Amino acid sequence: MEETDLVVLWGSNARETHPIFFHHVLRGVRNGARLYAVDPRRTSSAQWADAWLGLDVGSDIALANAIGREIIAAGLANEEFIRRATTGFDEYRARVDAYTLEYAERETGVPAALIRDLARAYATAPRAMICWTLGITEHHNAVDNVIALISLALLTGHVGRYGSGLNPLRGQNNVQGGGDMGALPDRLAGFQHVENDPLRARFDAAWGVTVPPKRGWNLTGMFSAMERGELTALYVIGENPAQSEADQGKAVRALAGLEHLVVQDIFLTKTAAMADVVLPAAAAWAETEGTVTSSERRVQRVRKALEPPGEARDDLAIIFDLAARLGADWGEPSAEAVWDEVRRLSPVHAGMSYARLEAEGGLQWPCYDEQHPGELFLHARLWEDPVPGTRAPFVPVDHDPPVDRLDADFPIRLTTGRRLDSFNTGVQSGGFRSPLRRGETIDLAPEDAARIRVADGERVRVVSRRGAVEAPVRIDEGLRPGLAFMTFHFPDDVATNLLTIDATDPKSGTAEFKATAIRVEKLRPVARRPRRSRAIVGARGGR
Amino acid sequence: MSTEIERIFYEPPARPTRIPEAPPAEPQPAVELTLDGRAVTVPAGSTILDACRAAGIEIPTLCFLESLTPVNVCRVCVVEVTGSRVLVPSCSRRVEPGMEVLTASERVRHGRRIVLELLASAVDLSLAPGVAEMLDAYGADPLRFGPSAPAAAAGEREARHPGHHEPPDGAAAEIVALPVKVDNDLYVRDYSRCILCYRCVEACGTDAQNTFAIAVAGRGFDARISTEYDAPLPSSACVYCGNCIGVCPTGALMFRSEFEMRAAGTWNEARQVTTDTICPYCGVGCTLTLHVQDGAVVTVTSPMGSAVGEGHLCIKGRFGFPFVQERPTG
């Protein structure tokens, strides 16, 4: 980050959500890099940018395709790289041809001159990065959004080189590691596809069982299966879906309809409170041994510093006991032994012994053997001639606006996200007394607040097609008219996810948390209301 | 989706023939100089301190920290450079060809002793690691300036205008003491312990956090670290990353938990064990050093050598741990 010439922060408020990463961004800026922020909100990150492209929620592909078209039209595409390292460029060029600057300005709300400026700056920068977060991926077309950004990197050759690349910033300390370990419906450890027979056969042989040869359901697929009655028992480890799922009312009904729910967590969360069996777990970062993997693919050791309270036990010990009850004796639970099994089965982790992770302060995968230093950046092969393996394909994608349409009844676009001092449903961050914390608010643009005639701090009713909540207004000048913002950090007070829509991306299963159509209603002044906000479930409104 | 892209998902990716790495650093020309008469060669751009450390010569430092830009304010690291009228701060002065450096001359020792005596007579250095040893090593006698003057009352030092400070009469040693600022739940500021090393200002500013909540206010003996208009932290720009605590060399900035345990007499470093782990919040992967006493985390630091954060953290990483030791109440 520090040795690049241009950074595009797209759908990411890293200043608040990845603060230490943003230190490195700012060092890059001080070293001379230009920073562009693409975000519906003028966030605290955008305030550091040379230019802020304040696009309408869900218009990312219109913007990216217009940038692609402009780069091609200006003759700034890296033709040599495209010819040697990619496929499908002609189809891409034909598809983006309709995305003129004028069209993009109309669809995204970003001035054409700014789009052109970003396109040319990105294409001509010697080194450039695109970084994104959930602003790209919490949409019904999340994967297409990502592909649109990848195409820009392929168009300019800003991938596979030092100081250039594509960086999805991970939101949790081991969300990368979870995927790496095969906690995905179509993957085994090391991203090996479960439907690839020779790869799966190695796992069959190592485990002495037949691994199911077809992919399973992702989280949203599991909820659909619960609604259909196909999934009747659920084992939840370290997740609070009763409060974190989009369209919370629907999610809670699905969980309540299960025949059997087991929750393994460090707290009695709202989900755990619904469970038939609760397995108290140790905190996996301070009470157990193991590893986590960060955004930059760095595997690092977590270590036990505290004894777990009461009957809480290491997740590993619980799972080993469960296996024993199911008739499989896995022996004594040991994080290092499990890791060594990962190393035997996942080629990209093979060289990462605990001894090396200790001595070298973590290693970045892929790390194929004990002598391999790990890879600082991926896709370097695209710069070899000829390119080893498959060339990178351009995949044309089209703009498709959010599912929850704005209309006269629901005229305001609500988007959700995090604040600096809080985290997700507040299960962790609720434990410390942050002087910055103000509780949940509905953040409105000054123009909208004036139109609805509500003042800063005034409680209002926020209504979507699925539910309604009450919350105090906070006027935020970083919001453009028609845009509102809430977090989901205080779900016991304000259940924001009663409002959100569970329209999901068919490929990733991610729900469109970022785009809800709402209206904001002024409450009649009532004397002496209780101060705590209340959630109102089951408001009227068609779906 | 096209079959092309599906194939990429099904097959493991091809490996590059060469392992990707950062471009090699520009080689720096070698500079020859002498340290205490010994000829040494170091890369151009090195500081005298770098050269001394490479040669195994120990130089005391207080305000210097590897992860921050040197501001050379404490003057404890001064050395003598032949031809230089004044002693030079080794932490920031770059080496030059043919430079002759004396690191332990009487003039150097005298300069360091005076600096240490002035600091130790005005500031409570009892929690500053290594300072007692430094005072011994240089024969510093802070008490020679007389007994300490009384501490300022709350708000007194902050209210003084630059240039309005009355010169002392010499009967007592002026001190910087003022009441501890306790204005939030996360950390306290005890400027009686502050040597004005600027580390907190730098960590809050361009060297790391870029929040600029604090700066040096006042002039001369009334100089002090302050928020804008001396606002309490909750009314200031502070975002409670606590990186100022992380770099403070004297204990002037301290976790509220440590402050209260010290006040209660329960703080006991001998009973503390540290364990390095990874922050449980976002995906950046900052290392947390958990300081555990009697089965509970009492403070959190981050190792300066970590490539991820260079010792810096955010509010969640530094202060967000209590959830792990919440216990049911009632």
Q: What is the DSSP letter of B161?
A: P
Domain boundary residue, one of A308, A335, A364: A364
Residue A175's CB: how many other CB atoms inside 10 A? 18
Q: In what helix (H) or strand (E) does residue A109 lie, and over which residues does it extend?
A: none
pLDDT in tens, A361-414: 999 999 999 999 999 999 999 999 999 999 999 999 999 999 999 999 999 999
Bin B258: left if φ > 0, else alpha if -120 < ψ < 50, else beta. Answer: alpha
Residues A114 and A206 in one domain: no
B25 interfaces chain A, CB cutoff of 8 Å: no
Helical packing angle, A112-124 and A142-156, nearest 10°? 50
Question: Does residue A534 have a pLDDT over 60?
Answer: no
Could you tell me if A161 and A185 lie in one domain?
no
CATH assignment of the domain containing A143: 3.40.228.10
Same domain as A198, residue A137: no
**Averaged pLDDT score across all residues of chain A:** 94
What pLDDT, on the 0 to 100 scale, is given for residue B164? 67
pLDDT digit string (tens) for A302-316? 999 999 999 999 999
State the burial class of residue A525 (Cβ atoms within 10 Å of its Cβ: 0-12, 13-18, 19+): exposed
> What CA dihedral angle connects A299, A304, A306 and A308, to 10 degrees?
90
Opening angle at CA B260, ends B254 and B261, nearest 5: 100
Per-residue pLDDT band for A537 (boundaries 50, 70, 90) equals: very low
The arithmetic mean of pLDDT across residues A40-63, rounded, is 97
Do A134 and A195 sit in the same domain of this protein? no
The residue among A330, A364, A398 that closes a domain is A364
Q: What pLDDT was estimated at residue A524?
A: 73
Pick the residue with more confidence: A508 or B71? Answer: B71
Q: Across the interface, do A196 and B10 touch by the CB < 8 Å criterion?
A: yes
pLDDT confidence bin for A535, thresholds 50/70/90: very low
Q: Is residue A492 over pLDDT 50?
A: yes
Using CB atoms, which residue from B20, B185, B285 is nearest to A380?
Answer: B20
B86 burial class (0-12, 13-18, 19+ CB within 10 angstroms)? exposed
Assess if residue A422 is contained within a domain: yes
Instruction: Determine contact, residues B86/B72, Cβ cutoff 8 Å.
Output: no
pLDDT at A543: 27
Check: CB of residue A53 under 8 Å from CB of residue A36: yes
Tell me how far apart the alpha carbons of residues B225 and B222 are, in angstroms, rounded to a whole number: 10
Among B18, B313, B314, B319, the residue to mutate for chain A (most A Cβ within 10 A): B314
Q: How many structural domains are present in chain A?
A: 3
Put simply, the answer to whether A429 touches B316 (Cβ < 8 Å) is yes
> Residue A331 has which token pair?
């022996």
**In-domain check, residue A10:** yes
A227 and A161 share one domain: no
**What are the b/e assignments for A355-379, b being 16+ CB within 10 Å?**
ebbeeebbbbbbbbeeebebbebbb
Burial of A465 (0-12, 13-18, 19+ CB in 10 A): buried
Question: E strand or H helix at A6, and its extent?
Answer: strand A6-10
Looking at the structure, tell me whether residues A260 and A204 fall in a common domain.
yes
How many CB pairs lie under 8 A apart between chains A and B?
229
Average pLDDT over residues A195-206: 96
| Burial of B260: CB neighbours in 10 Å, binned 0-12, 13-18, 19+ | middle
ipTM above 0.90, yes or no: yes
Residues of chain B with Cβ-Cβ distance to A192 below 8 Å are: 12
Give the CA radius of gyration of chain A. 24
- Mean pLDDT of all residues in A252-262: 97
How does residue A539 score in pLDDT terms, banded at 50, 70 and 90? very low
Closest to B152 (Cα-Cα) out of B170, B165, B162: B165
Q: What's the CATH code of the domain at A515?
A: 2.40.40.20
Shared-domain flag, residues A204 and A335: yes
The rounded distance, in Å, linking the Cα atoms of A348 and A350 is 6
Q: Which residues make Cβ contacts (< 8 Å) with residue A131, sequence separation at least 6?
A: A7, A8, A9, A10, A12, A14, A25, A167, A168, A169
Q: Identify which of B186, B280, B327 has the shortest CB distance to residue A285.
A: B280
β-pairing, B100-102 with B30-35?
A: parallel
Q: Please, which contacts does B41-45 make with residues 24 or more away whose CB atoms are closer than 8 Å?
A: B42/B95, B44/B94, B44/B95, B45/B94
A310 C-beta neighbours (distance < 10 Å), count: 8
Which residues does B85 contact at the CB level (< 8 Å), separation at least 6? none
Instruction: Give the orientation angle of helix A219-228 with respect to helix A248-256, to 10 degrees.
Output: 60
Contact list, B23 vs chain A (CB under 8 Å) = 162
CATH number at residue A243: 3.40.50.740
Question: A402 Cβ partners below 8 Å, 6+ apart?
Answer: A57, A58, A139, A140, A413, A503, A512, A514, A515, A517
In our burial notation (b when 16+ CB lie closer than 10 A, e otherwise), range B185-221 reads: ebbbbbbbbbbbbbbbbbbbbebbbbbebbeebbeee
**Phi/psi zone of residue B36: left (φ > 0), alpha (ψ -120 to 50 degrees), beta?**
left
Contact B257, B186 (CB under 8 A): no
CB contact under 8 A, B285 and A395: no
Q: Give pLDDT, residue B327.
A: 78
Q: Do the domain assignments include residue A501? A: yes
Determine what percent of chain A is predicted with pLDDT higher than 90: 90
Q: What pLDDT, on the 0 to 100 scale, is given for residue A267?
A: 92
Alpha-carbon span A448 to B129, nearest angstrom = 55
- The conformational region for residue A404 under phi > 0 = left, psi -120 to 50 = alpha, else beta, is beta
What is the pLDDT, as a whole number, of residue A540? 32
Q: Is B69 on the interface with A (CB under 8 A)?
A: no
Q: How many CB atoms lie within 10 A of CB B322?
A: 16
The position carrying tokens 């600082």 is A376
Mutate to test the interface with A, among B21, B67, B275, B281 (most CBs of A within 10 A): B281
Concatenated DSSP letters of A226-256: HHHTS--EEEEES--HHHHSSSHHHHHHHHH
Could B308 and A298 be called an inter-chain contact, meaning their C-beta atoms sit closer than 8 Å? Answer: yes
**3-state DSSP assignment of residue B245:** helix
Ordered structural domains, chain B, with CATH: 28-147 (3.10.20.740), 150-158+173-256 (3.30.70.20), 268-330 (2.20.25.90)
Q: Which of A63, A18, A17, A70 is nearest to A36 (CA)?
A: A63
Residue A438 included in any domain:
yes
CA distance A88 to B11: 19
Chain A neighbors of B21, CB-CB under 8 A: 162, 373, 376
Residue at A382 is within a domain: no
Maximal C-alpha separation, chain A: 75
State the DSSP H helix or E strand holding residue B108, giving kind and residue range, or none if neither.
Answer: helix B106-122
User: Do the domain assignments include residue A393?
Assistant: no
What integer pLDDT is reported at residue A510 of this predicted model? Answer: 87
pLDDT at A197 over 90: yes
Residues A142 and A250 in one domain: no
Residue carrying the six token digits 């007692």:
B132
**B 153-192 near A (Cβ less than 8 A):** 184-186
pLDDT of residue A541: 31
Q: What is the pLDDT along chain B (330 residues), one digit of tens a residue?
A: 456 667 788 888 899 999 999 999 899 999 999 999 999 999 999 999 999 999 999 999 999 999 999 999 999 999 999 999 999 999 999 999 999 999 999 999 999 999 999 999 999 999 999 999 999 999 999 999 999 998 889 888 888 776 666 777 888 898 999 999 999 999 999 999 999 999 999 999 999 999 999 999 988 888 999 999 999 999 999 999 999 999 999 999 999 999 999 999 999 999 999 999 999 999 999 999 999 999 999 999 999 988 899 999 999 999 999 999 887 664
Instruction: Sort strands B272-278 and B287-293 into parallel, antiparallel or unpaired.
Output: antiparallel
User: B23 at the A interface (CB within 8 A)?
Assistant: yes
Q: Which of residues 428-467 of A touch B (CB under 8 A)?
A: 428-436
Instruction: In whole angstroms, give the CA distance from residue A288 to residue B196.
Output: 41
Cis check for the bond before B280: say yes or no (omega within 30 of 0): no
The domain boundary, picked from A141, A169, A197, lies at A169
Q: Is residue A386 assigned to a domain?
A: no
In terms of domains, do A274 and A344 share one?
Answer: yes
Instruction: Identify whether residues A311 and A417 lie together within a single domain.
Output: no
A147 and A274 together in one domain: no
**Residue A401 belongs to some domain of the structure:** no
Do the chains contact at B278 and A18, CB–CB below 8 Å?
no
Residue-range definition of the domain harbouring residue A131: 6-169
**Whole-number pLDDT of residue B4:** 63
Write out pLDDT tens, residues A158-185.
999 999 999 999 999 999 999 999 999 9
Looking at the fold, whether A239 and A186 belong to one and the same domain comes out as yes
Place of tokens 């408020």: A13
Q: Is A108 on the interface with B (CB under 8 A)?
A: no
pLDDT at B326: 83
- Is residue B262 within 8 Å of residue B218, measured between CB atoms? no
Describe chain A by its helix, strand, coil percentages, rounded to 5. 35, 15, 50
Residues A416-465: pLDDT tens digits?
999 999 998 888 898 899 999 999 999 999 999 999 999 999 999 999 99
